[in-house]
């Protein structure tokens, strides 16, 4: 039987991939549009990125389905293509996944606020995430990875949806901001609350990604380590993005990022990857630096 992600993490540090958007843009993805549509229109481009990440040493890649929830796609007029785009996204990654490595079915936020502040209910979210997770698993995703949730409540809806879809394992991440008073989601959720609710919901891997660069993630990792015995996945941004003369740059180099990732490992992360601004060079550097 295939070794599970949880078996692998018992043995060594597990490496996730870096950004999808950054890599797509570097290859001239049209601005705007629906990134998930590439799974149907240009699967070879998406697949090439997955392959580069596996070659760089990633054990896990995320499918190109971050914005693939039915709610988000419906907002772009692509709601009816939801199941197809997600299943294709998973298949594209599955086809290039080497033996012993993994495909994480990626679920991101819908961009909607929950009632009573917003107009979606937790039932609607759960149903939406369940159908996305089903499509991802049917296309060959090994498990579900929920990323960049700025609302713990929405993240928990996604966990519930993934569970109902029969996901054998669920990774769940909220994204924290660093404030003078500590780490909070923009909705005000603390790491303490996030970890305890994720644990209660049966999340297998407690994760955080995006917003923060690798430097700030070191401290946040120590904090998370103090809160849970579960495996922890940390995926920082390559610093803050900025744009000059129409080009986008990120503050950090792959080398700086990798040095911080060694500290993130020491602070207690079991799994490490990259978020916005990272590419295959970053993953290669992390793998080399952490293994040393």
Partner 1 sequence: MGHIEEIYQAVVGGNVDAASEGVQKAVDAQTDADEILNKAMVPAMDLVGEKFGEGEYFIPQVLWSAKAMQAGMEILRPLFAEDQKMDKGSIVIGTSKGDIHDIGKNLVAMMLEGAGFKIVDLGVDVDPARFVETAEQEGSAVIAVSALLTTTMPAMKEVVSLVRERRLGTKVVIGGAPVDQGFCDEIGADAYGTDAVDAVKKIRSLLGV
The backbone torsions φ and ψ at residue 155, rounded to the nearest 5 degrees and listed phi first, read: -60, -40
Whole-number minimum distance, CB 90 to partner 1, in Å? 23
- The SS3 assignment for 277 reads coil
Comparison of 66 and 257: residue with beta carbon closer to partner 1: 66
Whole-number minimum distance, CB 241 to partner 1, in Å? 4
User: How far out from the chain centre does Cα 84 lie?
Assistant: 20
* Residue among 6, 74, 83, 187 that touches partner 1 (CB under 8 A): 187
Stretch that binds partner 1, among 2-10, 28-36, 219-227, 257-265 (CB under 8 A): 28-36
Which tokens belong to 266? 């020491």
- Of 198, 60, 207, nearest to 142 by C-alpha is 60
Could you give the string, one character per residue 73-112, with x where binding to partner 1 holds by CB under 8 A and - elsewhere?
A: --xx----------------------------------x-
Number of residues that bind partner 1 (CB under 8 A): 28
- Strand ranges, E, within the chain: 14-15, 60-62, 102-107, 143-149, 170-174, 177-179, 182-184, 205-213, 232-237, 241-244, 247-250, 271-272
Q: How buried is residue 192: exposed, middle or buried, by Cβ count under 10 Å (0-12/13-18/19+)?
A: middle
Query: Rule CB under 8 A: is residue 193 a binding residue for partner 1?
Result: no
Whole-number minimum distance, CB 211 to partner 1, in Å? 9
CB 208 within 8 Å of CB 222: no
Q: DSSP letters along 75-138, please?
A: HTT-GGGHHHHHHHHHHHHHHHPPTT-EEEEEE---SPPBTTTSSB-HHHHHHHHHHHHHHHHH
Comparison of 110 and 221: residue with beta carbon closer to partner 1: 110
Comparison of 1 and 117: residue with beta carbon closer to partner 1: 117
Comparison of 275 and 290: residue with beta carbon closer to partner 1: 275
Query: Rule CB under 8 A: is residue 229 a binding residue for partner 1?
Result: no
* Residue among 1, 2, 31, 200 that touches partner 1 (CB under 8 A): 31
- Given its phi and psi angles, is residue 177 left (phi above 0), alpha (psi -120 to 50 degrees) or beta? beta
Which tokens belong to 246? 């129409």
Query: Rule CB under 8 A: is residue 120 a binding residue for partner 1?
Result: no
Comparison of 95 and 121: residue with beta carbon closer to partner 1: 121
Integer Cα distance of 90 and 138 in angstroms: 8
Could you give the string, one character per residue 230-269, with x where binding to partner 1 holds by CB under 8 A and - elsewhere?
A: ----------xxxxxxx-x---------------------
Could you give the string, one character per residue 37-76, with x where binding to partner 1 holds by CB under 8 A and - elsewhere?
A: --------------------------------------xx
Residues in contact with partner 1 by CB under 8 A are: 21, 25, 29, 31-33, 75-76, 111, 113, 117, 150, 179-181, 184-188, 240-246, 248
């Amino acid at each position: 039987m295939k070794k599970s992600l949880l078996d692998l993490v018992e043995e060594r540090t597990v490496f996730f991939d870096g950004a999808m958007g950054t890599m797509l843009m570097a290859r001239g993805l049209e601005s705007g549009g629906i990134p998930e549509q590439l799974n149907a229109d240009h699967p070879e481009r998406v697949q090439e990125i997955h392959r580069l990440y596996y070659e760089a040493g990633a054990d896990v890649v995320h499918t190109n389905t971050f914005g693939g929830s039915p709610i988000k796609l419906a907002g772009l007029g692509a709601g009816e293509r939801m199941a197809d785009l997600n299943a294709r996204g998973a298949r594209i990654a599955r086809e290039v996944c080497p033996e012993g490595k993994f495909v994480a079915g990626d679920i991101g936020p819908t961009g909607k606020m929950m009632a009573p502040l917003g107009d979606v209910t937790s039932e609607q979210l759960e149903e939406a995430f369940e159908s996305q997770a089903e499509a991802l698993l049917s296309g060959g995703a090994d498990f579900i990875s929920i990323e960049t949730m700025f609302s713990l409540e929405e993240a928990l809806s996604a966990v519930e949806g993934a569970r109902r879809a029969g996901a054998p394992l669920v990774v769940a991440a909220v994204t924290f901001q660093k404030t003078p008073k500590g780490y909070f989601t923009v909705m005000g959720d603390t790491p303490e609350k996030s970890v305890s609710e994720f644990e209660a919901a049966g999340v297998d891997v407690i994760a955080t990604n995006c917003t923060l660069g690798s430097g700030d993630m070191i401290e946040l990792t120590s904090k998370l380590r103090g809160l849970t015995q579960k495996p922890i996945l940390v995926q920082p941004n390559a610093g803050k993005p900025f744009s000059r003369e129409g080009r986008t740059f990120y503050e950090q180099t792959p080398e700086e990022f990798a040095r911080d990732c060694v500290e993130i490992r020491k602070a207690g992360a079991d799994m490490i990857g990259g978020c916005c601004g990272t590419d295959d060079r970053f993953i290669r550097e992390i793998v080399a630096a952490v293994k040393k």
